[in-house]
Chain A
Amino acid sequence: MKITTTNIPEVVVNMEKSKTELANSVIEEIYPLLNEAYSSRIDLVENFDVIIQSKKSKVQINKLEIESLVEKLNKKKKIKKLLEKINELISSGLVQDGRLRSETINMLQIVDMLPEDQLDTHLNTVVSNITKRFS
């Protein structure tokens, strides 16, 4: 036989009263634990909110960077198309005369610095010259 001594109060007179007292003392022990769990969760959620805000800014920065890269890539593609058309123009022998030749050389030297609208204008002009040549 094994006898374990516990902190459970002795049941002397009223069994119901003793049970309630014991239950209340157990609950009193549980409350702080629940409060602790609640506070720790609140801290975690607050910490998460800070992380979310920081990541939100990073996502926004990345989005802007990608938009800028897409713009840059589109411009490079446009330059490529212009260069291909100029190559076509030169191959067809249309850039032999003095004025068009010097204009083409000037354009080739600054093509990377040209804004998109000017690239469009040059592309339209070159395509139009090629079309005239073969029409």
Chain B
Amino acid sequence: MEIVRSNTYNNLEQMTNNREFISNIIKRIILICDADSNFSGIKKQIDSINEKYETAKKKINKQEKLLKTSKSLKEEFLTKIEIIDNENSKMRLELLESLGSV
């Protein structure tokens, strides 16, 4: 089919016909899609998989957050342990010295 595009007055009728035809086609597509069980079936499947996708994405973000927090917690504990360990070693040596054992 040839679609005529023109802004001239003479072709106004042709233009209107084209527009009406295309508009009718779109309406018909929408009607068929609504009535077509296969179409709505696949749409439901896509919605369902999209929901799973979003849930999985949220879960991964939550896990990322947890991993980040746990990493900083580990570092914090390691630092605390190192500090207290050094203090203990120093005090232990001082006590042994005061008891005349070193």
Residues of A within 8 A of B (CB): 1-6, 8-11, 19-20, 22-24, 26-27, 31, 34-35, 37-38, 41-42, 44-45, 48-49, 51-52, 55-56, 58-59, 62-63, 65-66, 69-70, 72-73, 76-77, 79-80, 83-84, 86-87, 90, 95, 101, 104-105, 108-109, 111-112
Residues of B within 8 A of A (CB): 1-6, 8, 11, 21, 24-25, 28-29, 31-33, 36, 38-39, 42-43, 45-46, 49-50, 52-53, 56-57, 59-60, 63-64, 66-67, 70-71, 73-74, 77-78, 80-81, 84-85, 87-88, 91-92, 94-96, 98-99, 101
Query: In the docked arrangement, what's the CA distance between A72 and B2, Å?
Result: 83
Main secondary structure of the interface of A (DSSP, over half): helix
* Contact yes or no, B77 A90, CB < 8 A: no
* Contact yes or no, A90 B25, CB < 8 A: no
Main secondary structure of the interface of B (DSSP, over half): helix
* Contact yes or no, A77 B84, CB < 8 A: yes
* Contact yes or no, B59 A69, CB < 8 A: no
A-side contacts of B63, CB under 8 Å: 52, 55-56, 58-59
* Contact yes or no, A79 B88, CB < 8 A: yes
